[in-house]
A and B are shown apart, each in its own frame.
Chain A
């Protein structure tokens, strides 16, 4: 079996992206056009401020909010005790350990004949003033002392007013981008002219997928509406543009946005705006701690793939403890991978590796090869370009030395130019393989019906799987949808088959759906890639 060359760049798209990701060049793009109409927030400015206090315990005006606990002896910042923690985003209360926070919806608080609680506490309906007293002094409208689990808050009169205004809307407002009959989903395409094909692929597949969903009645009678924007030329401007896009267009969640080149910034933005994002196109998933709850990646990035490669390599090594060499080019990309490999070597029991920086000048490569040979190690993890790898192999071959090469992030067609002595000695990893395409007919049908482009099939599959995961999440989140419920639904996905990627699992602590890779080797004669392993988990 050989791996088909399904893209113009012949390798699975993620590797093609690798060469792109490093190339975010400034300049060259004009202003982006926005379709954005006037923002139609469902809440007034005051209610929005109040919501921030309710959900996050922080003051939009930057004023101090303190919470007092246990007979007021313990003061903590309001942000560690936001109301929503206990009363829930919907105001209905989250009972725990025998503690039952009251239902705070306005109807519940203002029942005309007052309220009698299960434990016997009775009080007349709440008024604005009564709410203020409950919040600041822990008293209900009848003057009963509330349980001491309910903190007392100290906050400015203005913040208190905002909070009370929001409490009257609690349970009735919903997240932006959500109406009775629609859900607005956004995506981001690359603006660069040379990446236009990727943009087309994102647009075409997502549009087609959502059209299918809508033609079957949408999700709980809500149509999916797609909004598209484009990246800009620096991570900072991209982040600013995507932020404006999300706010102006009222985007509920994002799907398969092209984040390569601005990964950190866009992930942080989603966290900040609390917008769930599924399947961003990137090589650098930000899946570490502290966990970014809002971004759900599908495939492992270069680090996860490198870890799988290490697991594979260590298993093949005759002497488990034999140290390995890492050769790296001096750039930012290599740094994270270097750390991942070192860490994984330790975990797999084949470390510690010795790192060597690749020489800056071509003329130094022969000497460098000789130096490496002297270490008498036989395994090299190589984190550089294919051109550099081949230059080193050629020198090694001159020295009659042929260590096994495990290539990190980058591979390309040039690798077929490796010297013959390295036949069966070159390996790299890919995050998905044709074996994962268990339900390609579904994808093919979509392609035929919607006349999807014939290029960038790897990207298309990735976009398709993101849309599929998102829709599954929306279905599971239920009719009473919110961003938080979508996140919880996605966290519940276990071994979910997208049909075109390895099965996807998320969890409370997991944001990379298919954490692992396949190892691939190279047939230098036939110039083909050959599978060398099954799925290797790098979790």
Chain B
């Protein structure tokens, strides 16, 4: 069942990403976001409920990848890896990283597992795939739906479920800046 995420703060809506050269976080808060409780699989083949198991009560950063994407996804994932290191002990407890596959038909849990291992993804960072129709609906809800997976924009969704604050950042935002964005999301009243 979809869970309505209440939005506390409405700021200027901007969806960056097309400007690949952007260096700043270029964040923009989002006015309304409903995060569905989609049944998904993680990289270990474990069945999870997207909202209940991954989002609820946490601050999260979500990026969108697929394992056969070689130009943009390795940099996106390497950035997340650095972000994970920079977040240190906060990861898993307070903050979670999620990478959602935009190619669920091909990205089996095993493929995601290999991909995650290649980038040394650690605990607190979940790779997500599942039934194509359901993942498509999830992507739609997260504002990351694309017709052609190769056109998917490098975007990171940062949010705090407790306060309902959600914002977007450019996928290749330097990790130090992203840590600030995440910290800000986590500390929102």
Q: B75–A98 contact, CB under 8 A?
A: no
What 1/0 mask marks residues of chain A from 286 to 306 whose CB sits below 8 Å from any chain B CB?
Answer: 000111000000000000000
* Alpha-carbon distance between A124 and B112 when the two chains are bound, in angstroms: 42
Is A22's beta carbon under 8 Å from chain B? no
Q: Are A85 and B71 in contact (CB under 8 A)?
A: yes
B3 is an interface residue with CB less than 8 A from chain A: no
Chain A residues with CB below 8 A from B110, complex form: 289-291, 509
CB of A80 within 8 A of CB of B20, answer no
For the complex, is A26 an interface residue (Cβ under 8 Å from B)? no
Asked if B20 contacts A86 (CB within 8 A), the reply is no
* Cα-based distance from A289 to B73 in the complex (angstroms): 21
Q: Is the CB of B82 within 8 A of A99?
A: no
The answer for the CA separation of A98 and B175 in the assembled complex, in Å, is: 21
With A and B bound together, what is the CA distance between A98 and B70 in angstroms? 13
Expressed in whole angstroms, the Cα–Cα distance for A507 and B68 within the complex equals: 12
Could you tell me if B172 and A148 are in contact, using CB atoms closer than 8 angstroms? yes
In the assembled complex, the CB of B62 is this many whole angstroms from the nearest CB of chain A, namely: 16
B21 adjacent to A70 (CB under 8 Å) = no
Give A60-75 interface residues, CB cut-off 8 Å to B.
69-71, 73-74
Contact, CB under 8 Å: B72 / A99: yes
Question: A76–B17 contact, CB under 8 A?
Answer: no
Does the CB pair A148–B68 fall under 8 Å? no
Q: Is the CB of B150 within 8 A of A97?
A: yes
Residues of B with C-beta under 8 A to A42: none
With A148-B172, A508-B106, A509-B108 known as contacts, the answer to whether A70 contacts B72 (CB < 8 A) is no
Q: Is B78 an interface position by the 8 A CB rule?
A: yes
- Measured in the bound complex, the distance between the Cα atoms of B73 and A460 in whole Å is 44
Given contacts A95-B71, A148-B21, contact A71 B106 (CB under 8 A): no
Q: A85-B71, A149-B72 are in contact. Are A70 and B17 (CB under 8 A)?
A: no
CB <8 Å contact, B172 and A80: no
Quick check: A98 and B151 within 8 Å, CB to CB?
A: yes
A94, B71: Cβ atoms closer than 8 Å? yes
Residue of B nearest to A85 (CB): B70
Q: Is A81 at the interface (CB under 8 A from chain B)?
A: yes
B111, CB-defined interface residue at 8 Å = yes
Segment 135-172 of B: residues with Cβ below 8 Å from A: 150-154, 171-172
Quick check: is B114 within 8 A (CB to CB) of the other chain?
A: yes
Q: In the complex, what's the smallest C-beta–C-beta distance from A291 to chain B, in angstroms?
A: 8
Across-interface contacts of A149 in B (CB, < 8 A): 20, 71-72, 75, 172
- Interface assignment of B18: CB less than 8 Å from any CB of chain A: yes
Asked if B4 is at the interface of the complex by the 8 Å CB criterion, the answer is no
Return chain B residues, CB-CB under 8 Å to A76: 78, 81
Chain A hits for B23, CB < 8 A: 71, 148
- Least Cβ–Cβ distance between B71 and chain A, in angstroms: 4
Q: State the CA gap A269–B18 with chains docked (Å).
A: 42
Question: B173 interface residue, CB < 8 Å from A?
Answer: yes
Do A96 and B69 have beta carbons less than 8 Å apart?
Answer: yes
A151–B79 Cα distance when bound, in Å, is: 12
Q: Is B28 an interface residue (CB 8 A)?
A: no
Q: Number of B residues whose C-beta is below 8 Å from A?
A: 36
Interface string of B164-189 (1 = CB under 8 A from A): 00000001111110000000000000
Is B20 in contact with A99, judged by CB distance below 8 angstroms? yes
Q: Which residues between 79 and 130 of chain A lie within 8 Å of chain B, taking CB atoms? A: 80-81, 85-86, 94-99, 101
Nearest neighbor of B21 in chain A, beta-carbon distance: A147
Query: Quick one: which of A70, A98, A148, A289 has the most chain B CB within 10 A?
Result: A70
Tell whether A81 pairs with B74 under 8 Å between CB atoms, given A70-B173, A71-B23, A148-B21.
yes
Given contacts A98-B20, A148-B21, A149-B20, contact A73 B69 (CB under 8 A): no
- From A93, which residue of chain B is reached at the shortest CB distance? B71
B17 CB contacts on chain A under 8 angstroms: 97-98
- CB contact between A70 and one of B114, B150, B172 (< 8 Å): that residue: B172
Shortest CB distance B55–A (Å): 24
Residues of B close to A80: CB separation below 8 A: 74, 78, 118-119
How distant is the Cα of A81 from the Cα of B71 in the complex, in angstroms? 9
Instruction: Indicate if the CB atoms of A86 and B70 lie closer than 8 Å.
Output: yes
A277-293 interface code vs B (CB 8 A; 1 in, 0 out): 00000000000011100
Task: Across the interface, name the chain B residue whose C-beta is closest to A509.
Answer: B108
Given the contacts A508-B68, A509-B106, A69 and B75 also touching, CB distance less than 8 Å: yes
In whole Å, how far is B120's beta carbon from the nearest beta carbon of chain A?
9
CB distance from B123 to the nearest CB of A (A): 20
- Tell me the smallest distance from the CB of B87 to a CB of chain A, in Å: 14
When C-beta atoms are compared, the residue in chain B nearest to A145 turns out to be: B21
Chain B contacts for A73, CB-based, 8 A: 82, 174-176
Contact B75–A151 (Cβ < 8 Å): yes
Interface residues of B in 94-116 (CB under 8 A from A): 106, 108, 110-111, 113-114
**Could you say which residues of chain A place their CB within 8 Å of the CB of B113?**
289
User: How far is A149 from B151 in the complex, measured between Cα atoms in Å?
Assistant: 16
A70-B174, A73-B176 known; A147-B69 Cβ under 8 A: no
A487–B65 Cα distance when bound, in Å, is 23
Contacts of A148 in B (CB 8 A): 21, 23, 172
Cβ contacts B42-67/A at 8 Å (1 or 0 each): 00000000000000000000000000
Bound state CA distance, A95 and B148, in angstroms?
12
> What residue in chain B is nearest A75 (Cβ atoms)?
B82
Chain A, residue nearest B66 (CB): A96
CA distance A76 to B119 in the complex (A): 9
CA distance A508 to B108 in the complex (A): 10
Contact with B along A332-355 (1 / 0, CB 8 A): 000000000000000000000000
Chain B residue numbers with a CB within 8 Å of A95 are 71, 150
* B79 close to A99 (CB less than 8 A): no
A508: chain B residues at CB < 8 Å are: 68, 106, 111
- Between A and B, 6 residue pairs with Cβ closer than 8 Å are A81-B75, A85-B71, A95-B150, A96-B71, A99-B72, A290-B114
* Nearest 3 pairs of A and B residues by beta carbon: A96-B71, A85-B70, A74-B82
Q: A73-B82, A73-B174, A97-B152 are in contact. List 5 more A-B contacts (CB 8 A).
A: A69-B172, A70-B75, A96-B151, A97-B154, A289-B113
Q: Which residues of B contact A (CB under 8 A)?
A: 17-18, 20-21, 23, 68-75, 78-79, 81-82, 106, 108, 110-111, 113-114, 118-119, 150-154, 171-176
Enumerate chain A interface residues (CB-CB to B < 8 A): 69-71, 73-74, 76, 80-81, 85-86, 94-99, 101, 147-149, 151, 289-291, 507-509
